[in-house]
Amino acid sequence: MSRYLLLCIEFAKISIFAIGGGLASLPFLYSLSDRYAWFSHGDLADMVAVSESTPGPIGINMATYVGYTVAGVLGGVLATVSYIIPSILIGVIVARFLEKFKASPYVEAVFYGIRPAVCGLIGAAAYKIMSISLLDLDAYRISGSASLTGLFRLPAILMFGVMTVMNHKLKWHPVVYIAIAAVIGVLLKF
């Protein structure tokens, strides 16, 4: 199978089954990383950081990045389009029928059931990102010893958490937080 077709199939599948947006797609992206080794878990953590500080949803940014890495510009375009098209089609279909069935107890039950699944996907993604960014657990599994670089990141993460909680008093623009996080991220990368 050509890598272009494989990119299209994989990102279309992620788009269809990652209900809840970009963060919900992260477990699928980790699985993709494990199956094809197109990118590492660390690359994905870096991409999440970049996607959170740049315009565009995580899934679309990741599709573009992976597609470009695997198959150049055409791969980036195909992966991105393959990620977007199923969502558009599902959105159009749901919008068409939701008005008709929104009062249905079955539809309400489906949406009620989807909420915990989305929370679980986002929770799994948060755990994976934290395990990479705080204590490089992948390196621990390989070497048997924890990386201390993750421990040096903890004060910065705690400081940023306190600043976020204090936002109601500080009244800083979100761009300030993004800039501070970007600087901290760059400093901790070295």
What is the spatial distance between Cα 135 and Cα 47, in angstroms, rounded to a whole number? 18
Residues 6+ apart with CB under 8 A from 183: none
Q: Are 71 and 7 in contact (CB under 8 A)?
A: yes
| Residue 143, pLDDT score | 61
| Residue 8, pLDDT score | 93
| Residue 183, pLDDT score | 81
Q: Are 77 and 95 in contact (CB under 8 A)?
A: no
What is the spatial distance between Cα 121 and Cα 24, in angstroms, rounded to a whole number? 5
Residues 6+ apart with CB under 8 A from 169: none
Residues 6+ apart with CB under 8 A from 62: 22, 25, 29, 44, 47, 51
What is the spatial distance between Cα 171 and Cα 47, in angstroms, rounded to a whole number? 28
Listing DSSP states for 52-121 in one string gives HHSSS-HHHHHHHHHHHHHHHHHHHHHHHHHHHHHHHHHHHHHHHHHHHHTT-HHHHHHHHHHHHHHHHH
Q: Count how many Cα atoms sit within 13 Å of the Cα of residue 133 in the half-sphere of its side chain.
A: 22
Tokens matching residue 148: 């201390």
At 76, is the secondary structure helix, strand, or coil?
A: helix
* pTM higher than the cut 0.85: no
In the chain (190 residues long), the average pLDDT of successive 10-residue segments reads: 90 84 79 88 80 76 88 94 91 80 80 84 76 62 57 68 76 80 72
| Residue 51, pLDDT score | 77
